[in-house]
Amino acid sequence: MGWCDDPKSNQYNKLVKFPFPFRAERLHITNNTYDIVLVLNYNLNPTIKNKGSAIFLHIAKKNYKKTEGCIAVKKIELRKIIKIINKKTIIHIN
């Protein structure tokens, strides 16, 4: 699975399957940061090309190394978050 971040594609800012003819971020990474991935409602409805693709909430890398614009927390914390949120939950990014 992947997430299309190529504005040339009609699947821009959407979940895609590989092989895929356009640029897309692979959602399988060996460091396990994408074992749990929540897609935040950024630029989804409507999707505007070149406004930016997904912002994910996912597992942090060791020592909280920077992400590519996502939010990352420890796996144990992400499991706690999943238990208390739903589709109507609003996440504010400061």
CA distance 21 to 11: 11
Tell me what pLDDT residue 62 has: 86
Q: How far is CA 8 from the centre of its chain?
A: 19
Question: What is the residue whose two structure tokens read 């990014």?
Answer: 93
Tokens representing 67?
Answer: 């992400």
Give yes or no for a contact between 24 and 13, defined as CB atoms under 8 angstroms apart. Answer: no
The pTM for the full model equals 0.86
SS3 8: coil
Reported as a single tens digit per residue, the pLDDT across 19-43 is 999 999 999 877 889 999 999 999 9
